[in-house]
């Protein structure tokens, strides 16, 4: 079942190699996909840009696609077709947000089980991040992090899409928030409600955090190599939790010797897509909680920086260099 359109070619950003965003090129005659079993065909209104996209361009994202491929995996848009074996399908024309391969294009397919309707009154661009950024932040803080009122939470990369959501949510749940970001982004993070914003590159970061807090209850670790040892060293022994949800600066290592003799903390890994597959009931409960947060005004419409599709390679290069803040998006029709 599909809305009939004459044009079967589309514009798309295709990654041609694993040499980074510089080899991401605009194709104007790429074949439009069709909805397979359990999928929707989506006319993309806005595609989210995430650091995982940068990692995929280098071939370093776990189970990521092999070049050449249409880049991107997060989008919001209109349902144009429904594949077979979709339980309780949404109506054609419904605007949804979700993830799937090939988001940096005018059309893509999405697994139907993972999409959510765009909140009433929101644009496609404003809904970006609902499943991915806010879902990740909520899972890190609650399901894995066990956040409690009055606890101290350390949030790295707080100016990014997940980081900004995490600051808002941690404050909502009554935590004291210590955030890290580059100095140019401090004002933006403070405006979200962070109690302290520190330069993640300062050499005495661990000492400053310990002096301010006496020890952190929960860390959201998305930077990796550059901050991982700091995260472990400032976390309270035994009761403290470190939720690892990314490695933007490269992989860090942790040994059993470290955990027994040096950093006696709880370390948990998070990938929201893997969580959705492995624990679907938990994932659905997160989405229900997000809907309640939207209804209560805790989760406002997003304000992404939207760029034309052709600017995608430049946007990814700026993201890789740490020269962006907030949510980034591409408009495949511009």
Q: Spell out the alpha helix ranges (H) of the chain.
A: 51-57, 124-127, 133-138, 161-172, 186-191, 205-213, 228-234, 256-257, 272-278, 280-295, 312-320
Rounded to whole angstroms, the Cα distance separating 184 from 173 reads 27
Residue 189: name the closest of 224, 143, 147, 154 by CA. 154
Q: Which residue has the higher pLDDT, 190 or 5?
A: 190
pLDDT at 6: 43
Q: Which residues contact 262 (CB under 8 A, 6 or more apart)?
A: 232
Report the b/e string of 155-175 with b at 16+ CB within 10 A: bbbbbbbbbbbbbbbbbebeb
Sign of CA dihedral 200, 245, 261, 226: negative
Mean pLDDT of 191-211: 97
Q: Radius of gyration of the chain from Cα atoms?
A: 20
Rounded to whole angstroms, the Cα distance separating 328 from 267 reads 29
Backbone angles phi, psi at 133, to 5 degrees: -70, -50
pLDDT at 51: 93
What's the burial of 45, exposed, middle or buried (CB within 10 Å: 0-12/13-18/19+)? buried
pTM: 0.92
Phi-psi region of 72 (alpha: psi -120 to 50; beta: other; left: phi over 0): left
Question: pLDDT tens, 5-37?
Answer: 445 899 999 999 999 999 999 999 999 999 999
Q: Which structural domains are found in the chain, ordered by start?
A: 9-129+302-331 (3.90.180.10), 133-273 (3.90.180.10)
Mean pLDDT of 137-164: 97
pLDDT of 62 above 80: yes
Q: What is the mean pLDDT of the chain?
A: 95
Question: pLDDT tens, 168-181?
Answer: 999 999 999 999 99
Rounded to whole angstroms, the Cα distance separating 75 from 138 reads 19
Q: How many residues does the chain have?
A: 334
Rounded to whole angstroms, the Cα distance separating 31 from 41 reads 13
pLDDT at 113: 87
């Amino acid at each position: 079942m599909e809305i009939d359109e004459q044009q079967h070619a589309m514009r798309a950003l295709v990654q041609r190699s694993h040499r980074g965003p510089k080899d991401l090129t605009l194709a104007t005659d790429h074949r439009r996909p069709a909805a397979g079993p359990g999928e929707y065909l989506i006319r993309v209104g806005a595609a989210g840009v995430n650091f995982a996209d940068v990692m995929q361009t280098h071939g370093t994202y776990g189970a990521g696609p092999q070049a050449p491929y249409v880049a991107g995996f997060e989008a919001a848009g209109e349902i144009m077709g429904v594949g077979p074996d979709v339980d309780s399908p949404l109506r054609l024309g419904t605007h949804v947000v979700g993830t799937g391969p090939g988001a940096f294009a005018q059309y893509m397919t999405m697994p139907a089980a993972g999409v959510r309707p765009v909140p009433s009154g929101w644009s496609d661009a404003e809904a970006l991040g609902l499943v991915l950024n806010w879902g990740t932040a909520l899972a890190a803080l609650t399901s894995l992090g066990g956040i409690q009122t009055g606890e101290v939470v350390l949030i790295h990369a707080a100016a990014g899409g997940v980081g900004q959501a995490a600051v808002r949510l941690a404050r909502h749940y009554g935590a004291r928030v210590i955030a890290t970001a580059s100095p140019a982004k401090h004002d933006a993070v403070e405006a979200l409600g962070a109690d302290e914003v520190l330069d993640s590159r300062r050499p005495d970061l661990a000492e400053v955090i310990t002096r301010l807090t006496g020890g952190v209850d929960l860390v959201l670790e998305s930077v990796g190599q550059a901050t991982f040892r700091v995260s472990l060293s400032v976390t309270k022994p035994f009761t403290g939790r470190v939720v690892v949800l990314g490695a933007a600066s490269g992989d860090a290592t942790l040994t059993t010797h470290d955990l027994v003799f040096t950093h006696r903390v709880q370390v948990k890994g998070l990938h929201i897509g893997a969580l959705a597959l492995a624990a679907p009931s938990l994932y659905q409960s997160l989405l229900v909680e997000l809907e309640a947060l939207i209804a209560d005004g805790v989760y406002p419409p997003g304000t992404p920086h939207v760029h034309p599709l052709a600017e995608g390679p430049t946007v990814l290069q700026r993201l890789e260099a740490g020269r962006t803040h907030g949510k980034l998006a591409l408009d495949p029709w511009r």
